[in-house]
Amino acid sequence: MATPLPGIRACVFDAYGTLFDYASAAAGCRDVLGERLGPLTALWRDKQLQYTWLRALQGRHADFWQVTGDALDFALETLGLDHPPLRARLMDLYLSLDVFPEVPVMLQRLKGAGLKTAILSNGSPKMLDAVVRKAGIAELLDAVLSVELVGVYKPHPKVYQLAVDHLAIPAGAISFQSSNHGTLTPLQPSACASCGATATARGRSACRASRTTRLRRSRSSRRW
């Protein structure tokens, strides 16, 4: 099989919103949330990302499980949803997010093309292990890397260096796929040497563009 991306030896994926549908957590509580399902999903995710950026900038790290809980608390309070059992249920569901349906086949095709594959995520090891096991894609990944290894969130350069070091592949031969635009802006110019990036419309799986077995570079693609 031909290599999908010339010169690329590894595809590294963001997890949430790219491989796994973060909206599926709130969707699992549709019976309680009703018309507030959409607003909760959006606000929870927005605050989750904002809190990681703030913590990265301020050097005040806490793992993604705490950040996810803090963001959920803000969203629930803002929407007037003071319901402890609902909070517990939503957090549990975040450990069993749905994988986007095209992901397993896409990973199989990349592996068949001789590429290494990995996840590089803000998620804590516990969170990533749970969603990867539920999706049944562990054997299709060469590595599952958490920012906890360096103690800082994306887009700090140290995070992207993890992929280079663990895969033992030069930065220029790695393509990073993310549906989250906030992970594509390095904090320092030195981060531009870390890995390649392909961004898609926010909220879509980055692999949806790969239905025909190829991962295309989008107009927003950057080489890091």
pLDDT computed for residue 189 by the predictor: 34
User: 């989750």: which residue's tokens?
Assistant: 48
Mean pLDDT by 10 residues, the chain (224 residues): 74 97 98 97 97 94 98 98 95 98 97 96 98 98 98 94 97 92 45 34 36 29 35
C-beta of residue 141 within 8 angstroms of C-beta of residue 117: yes
| pTM, to two decimals | 0.82
Q: In what order do the strands lie in the sheet with 116-121?
A: 143-146, 116-121, 10-13, 174-178, 196-199, 222-223
pLDDT computed for residue 82 by the predictor: 87
Q: 21 catalytic, yes or no?
A: no
pLDDT computed for residue 221 by the predictor: 33
Query: DSSP 3-state assignment of 121?
Result: strand
In sequence order, which residues have a C-beta less than 8 Å from that of residue 128 and are 6 or more positions away? 15, 119, 121, 144, 146
**Both tokens of residue 6?**
């010339």
pLDDT computed for residue 4 by the predictor: 55
Please return the burial class of 31, using the count of CB atoms within 10 Å of its CB with bins 0-12, 13-18 and 19+: exposed
Domain ranges within the chain, ordered by starting residue: 10-20+98-223, 23-96
Q: Which CATH architecture has domain 10-20+98-223?
A: 3-Layer(aba) Sandwich (3.40)
Out of 14, 21, 63, 98, which one is annotated catalytic?
Answer: 14
pLDDT computed for residue 182 by the predictor: 57
Among 1.10.150.240, 3.40.605.10, 1.10.3720.10, 2.40.30.10, what is the CATH number of 23-96? Answer: 1.10.150.240
C-beta of residue 158 within 8 angstroms of C-beta of residue 150: yes
What backbone phi and psi angles, to 5 degrees, belong to 197? -140, 140
